[in-house]
Structure 1
Amino acid sequence: MTDADLALANRLADAAGEAIRPLFRGDWDEERKADRSYVTEADRAAEAAMRAIIEAERPDDGIIGEEYGTRNENAGRQWVLDPIDGTTSFIAGRAIFGTLVAITEGGWPVLGVIDQPIARERWVGRIGEGTTFNGRPARVRSCRDMSEAVLATTSPHQFAGGDVDAFMAVAQSVAERKIVYGGDCYNYGLLASGHVDIVMESGLKLHDYAALVPVVEGAGGTMSDWQGNPIDADTASNEGGRVLALGDPARLDDVLEAMG
């Protein structure tokens, strides 16, 4: 992965932002997809803008996008795109959604961008280098005990079956009244900047989490599945998209123990 890759990832996020901002809290079309999730005109316009750049400048690379599927699926390098992670927040006029841009090589996330186009906040991480927030170093914070932790998740309604019990067990271990709901990818950026300690989710797809891994780990945190294993392209299928992000890696055993 080169500096040119990083520059291109930033340009992709810029292009998505240009497509999204004019539509935020404005007039746009929406519909429900086969999985019952919502998609808007802004989601599609942002992904189309990013894909056009990749196809013109990196025709041999693969693309995995939430809205327009996979291109060059056998390529060793894949650009993984989620134009609006948090479409419900976008629909509600809440600026806590984000555009996700990632590169995976051999199935492993090696570069990630979380971009909030309304607030113009951007986290960038790549393997082997520190994460930045708007160009300045970002760093997680230490968490001495679970009772001091801030826990975040997008929605408890997204947990299925026994996953609800696992989340509630962790929730009972953290600081009272320090549980944050909503935020999607934005929570992981906040974790990378030292404001949140734990993010716990399940049912995520590759486009939901690929960009998050380099951002969190480059800031000194850790991401794993609910068994404590590293995150890769197969986590969505093999582990049900169960993702755990920690600002302080020392708390991993505590969280896994709380989950039972």
Structure 2
Amino acid sequence: MTLYREVGALMEQVAECAILPRFRRLSGADVAEKSPGEVVTSADLEAERLLAEGLASLCPGVRIVGEEAVSADPGRLSGVGEGLVWLVDPLDGTANFAAGSALFGMMVALVEDGVPQMGWILDVVTGRMCFAEAGKGATIDGQPVRARGTGSPRPVAALGTHFLEPHRRERVHAHAQGQLQRVAVPRCAAESYPRLVLGENDIALFQRSLPWDHAAGALFVNEAGGRVTHWDRSPYRVGGHGTGILAATDPYLWEVGAQVLLGEEAGLLSVPELVG
């Protein structure tokens, strides 16, 4: 069995035993605040434990960096852009999951010296699996896929500006008004990246670039023919110095988004990245 199938099967097994049984069945004891405005559930913790055990068995000796492990010990993130690393987001969109919304997923990426090599995005509820391998294209449920735009006269954009200070957020939105068709963000990268490939969104903007949130998705969109970079236009890289992320269905739409959002008028390039 190839690594693609082995990791996919592991993710599906973990979803089946650790996440789905708890969906819309969480008790108060299953949910805790890990930082202001951020929650963690028993499903996150159990899923990450099982994924880490399974990945360690598949690839002994490869470093594993999981979201919840880093939350408990931020030092685990040090050197994440060096060598071969598994990045694990056991339950992306935890707030949605805890609220009973189906906008959540599971993401795993294999990264070498900061460059994503393989990435998996599982829609836990539907079972849809998005996968990409560097230089070999992207697939959905094993079938090759190419990104397609919405075809809207104004590009459909999901702007992740909710972490900005209100006056900065208003400035970005005001500048985008009339140039982009802004839609609500799903607050779940495992949902955002597939939307860029499936013709639902044309552009996505993120301020936070925590590696487990973006490595698999950035690779998936890039391999499907889209473009994903940091705000300074440098290629997406784990552990690099680039801040923020701009992603689009294709290079042309990325340029449209960059002209609107990364110019001086929008003011984003003066905004610090959030790493927590």
Could you say which TM-score interval applies, normalised by the shorter chain? 0.7 to 0.9
Q: Which runs of 5+ in 1 are unaligned?
A: none
Alignment of 1:45 with 2:46, yes or no, is yes
| 1:220-249 deviation line (CA, Å, top 9, x unaligned) | 1110111221100125xx334x11110021
Give 1:137 shift: 2.2
Query: 1:216 pairs with 221, 227, 239, which one?
Result: 221
1:211-250 aligned within 5 A: 211-235=216-240, 238-240=241-243, 242-250=244-252
The answer for the alignment partner of 1:110 in structure 2 is 117
The 2-side partners of 1:34 and 1:24 are apart by 22
1:119-198 aligned within 5 A: 119-142=126-149, 147-153=153-159, 156-160=161-165, 164=169, 165-166=171-172, 168-170=174-176, 172-175=178-181, 178-185=182-189, 186-198=191-203
What amino acid does structure 1 have at the position aligned with 2:117? Answer: V
Pick closer, same or farther for the CA change 1:190–1:130 going to 2, 3 Å: same
The 2-side partners of 1:104 and 1:187 are apart by 20
The answer for the alignment partner of 1:80 in structure 2 is 87
**What TM-score, normalized to structure 2?**
0.82
The 1-side partners of 2:176 and 2:46 are apart by 38
Give 1:168 shift: 4.8
The 1-side partners of 2:85 and 2:188 are apart by 22
Secondary structure in 2 aligned to 1:56?
Answer: helix
| 1:28-72 deviation line (CA, Å, top 9, x unaligned) | 411111454110001111111100112223221011100123499
Runs of 4+ in 1 over 4 A off after TM superposition: 71-75, 142-145, 160-163
Residues 98 and 114, structure 1, Cα contact 8 Å, conserved in 2? yes
Pick closer, same or farther for the CA change 1:137–1:159 going to 2, 3 Å: farther
The 1-side partners of 2:93 and 2:146 are apart by 24
| 1:142-165 deviation line (CA, Å, top 9, x unaligned) | 4778x4311124x53223477623
| 1:160-193 deviation line (CA, Å, top 9, x unaligned) | 4776233553354113xx5132242202111122
What amino acid does structure 1 have at the position aligned with 2:11? Answer: A
Query: Percent same amino acid among aligned pairs?
Result: 27
The answer for the alignment partner of 1:63 in structure 2 is 64
Secondary structure in 2 aligned to 1:254?
Answer: helix
The answer for the alignment partner of 2:206 in structure 1 is 201
| 1:80-112 deviation line (CA, Å, top 9, x unaligned) | 000111111101111111101001011111111
The answer for the alignment partner of 2:255 in structure 1 is 253
Give 1:9 shift: 2.4
**What TM-score, normalized to structure 1?**
0.87
Q: How many residues align?
A: 251
Pick closer, same or farther for the CA change 1:62–1:172 going to 2, 3 Å: farther
Secondary structure in 1 aligned to 2:158?
Answer: strand
Q: Which runs of 5+ in 2 are unaligned?
A: 71-75, 264-276
Q: Which shows bigger deviation, 103-112 or 182-191?
A: 182-191
Secondary structure in 2 aligned to 1:257?
Answer: helix
The answer for the alignment partner of 2:270 in structure 1 is none
The 2-side partners of 1:163 and 1:200 are apart by 14
Alignment of 1:93 with 2:92, yes or no, is no
Secondary structure in 1 aligned to 2:162?
Answer: helix
| 1:193-243 deviation line (CA, Å, top 9, x unaligned) | 2221111111220111111111101111110111221100125xx334x11
The 2-side partners of 1:42 and 1:132 are apart by 27
Q: Which shows bigger deviation, 207-216 or 72-81?
A: 72-81
